[in-house]
Amino acid sequence: MSLGMAINLLRGGVLQVLVMAAPILLIGMLTGLIISIIQATTSIQEQTLTFVPKIAAILGAVAIFGPWLISSMVQFTIRLFQQISAMSG
Protein backbone atom coordinates (compact mmCIF):
# COMPACT_ATOMS: atom_id res chain seq x y z
CA MET A 1 0.00 0.00 0.00
CA SER A 2 1.39 3.35 -0.98
CA LEU A 3 1.26 6.48 1.12
CA GLY A 4 -1.24 8.04 -1.28
CA MET A 5 -3.64 5.14 -0.88
CA ALA A 6 -3.38 5.30 2.91
CA ILE A 7 -4.05 9.03 2.91
CA ASN A 8 -7.02 8.50 0.58
CA LEU A 9 -8.50 5.86 2.91
CA LEU A 10 -7.98 8.07 5.95
CA ARG A 11 -9.52 11.08 4.19
CA GLY A 12 -12.55 9.00 3.19
CA GLY A 13 -13.02 7.78 6.76
CA VAL A 14 -12.83 11.26 8.24
CA LEU A 15 -15.26 12.59 5.63
CA GLN A 16 -17.66 9.73 6.38
CA VAL A 17 -17.59 10.54 10.10
CA LEU A 18 -18.26 14.23 9.43
CA VAL A 19 -21.15 13.49 7.06
CA MET A 20 -22.73 11.08 9.53
CA ALA A 21 -22.34 13.32 12.59
CA ALA A 22 -23.35 16.62 10.99
CA PRO A 23 -27.17 16.27 10.98
CA ILE A 24 -27.37 15.13 14.58
CA LEU A 25 -24.93 17.78 15.80
CA LEU A 26 -26.73 20.53 13.89
CA ILE A 27 -30.10 19.55 15.35
CA GLY A 28 -28.61 19.50 18.85
CA MET A 29 -27.00 22.88 18.28
CA LEU A 30 -30.19 24.45 16.90
CA THR A 31 -32.23 23.07 19.79
CA GLY A 32 -29.74 24.52 22.27
CA LEU A 33 -29.83 27.87 20.50
CA ILE A 34 -33.63 28.01 20.54
CA ILE A 35 -33.76 27.09 24.23
CA SER A 36 -31.10 29.72 24.98
CA ILE A 37 -33.12 32.40 23.19
CA ILE A 38 -36.24 31.39 25.12
CA GLN A 39 -34.28 31.49 28.38
CA ALA A 40 -32.90 34.93 27.56
CA THR A 41 -36.30 36.37 26.71
CA THR A 42 -38.05 34.93 29.76
CA SER A 43 -35.13 35.50 32.18
CA ILE A 44 -35.19 31.86 33.24
CA GLN A 45 -31.55 31.02 33.92
CA GLU A 46 -31.85 27.35 34.83
CA GLN A 47 -28.84 25.55 33.34
CA THR A 48 -30.44 22.10 33.38
CA LEU A 49 -33.44 23.23 31.33
CA THR A 50 -31.64 22.63 28.02
CA PHE A 51 -30.83 18.95 28.61
CA VAL A 52 -34.27 17.40 28.16
CA PRO A 53 -35.15 19.19 24.87
CA LYS A 54 -31.66 18.49 23.48
CA ILE A 55 -31.87 14.81 24.36
CA ALA A 56 -35.35 14.55 22.85
CA ALA A 57 -34.26 16.36 19.68
CA ILE A 58 -31.15 14.20 19.27
CA LEU A 59 -33.12 10.99 19.84
CA GLY A 60 -35.66 12.19 17.26
CA ALA A 61 -32.85 12.95 14.82
CA VAL A 62 -31.38 9.49 15.32
CA ALA A 63 -34.82 7.97 14.71
CA ILE A 64 -35.30 10.02 11.54
CA PHE A 65 -31.77 9.78 10.15
CA GLY A 66 -31.02 6.28 11.48
CA PRO A 67 -31.81 4.34 8.30
CA TRP A 68 -29.79 6.77 6.21
CA LEU A 69 -26.87 6.61 8.65
CA ILE A 70 -26.83 2.82 8.60
CA SER A 71 -27.08 2.57 4.81
CA SER A 72 -24.33 5.18 4.41
CA MET A 73 -22.06 3.26 6.78
CA VAL A 74 -22.81 -0.05 5.03
CA GLN A 75 -21.97 1.48 1.63
CA PHE A 76 -18.72 2.93 3.02
CA THR A 77 -17.77 -0.42 4.52
CA ILE A 78 -18.46 -2.27 1.27
CA ARG A 79 -16.34 0.23 -0.66
CA LEU A 80 -13.57 -0.12 1.94
CA PHE A 81 -13.57 -3.91 1.68
CA GLN A 82 -13.49 -3.68 -2.12
CA GLN A 83 -10.50 -1.36 -1.95
CA ILE A 84 -8.72 -3.66 0.51
CA SER A 85 -9.24 -6.68 -1.74
CA ALA A 86 -7.99 -4.67 -4.73
CA MET A 87 -4.85 -3.69 -2.80
CA SER A 88 -3.89 -7.18 -1.78
CA GLY A 89 -4.47 -8.86 -5.13
Q: Could you report the per-residue pLDDT of 19-32, keeping only the tens digit for each?
A: 999 999 999 999 99
Residue 16 is which amino acid? Q
DSSP state of 82: H
Q: Could you report the per-residue pLDDT of 36-67, keeping only the tens digit for each?
A: 999 889 888 787 888 899 999 999 999 999 99
Alpha-carbon distance of 63 to 33, in angstroms, equals 21
pTM of structure: 0.79
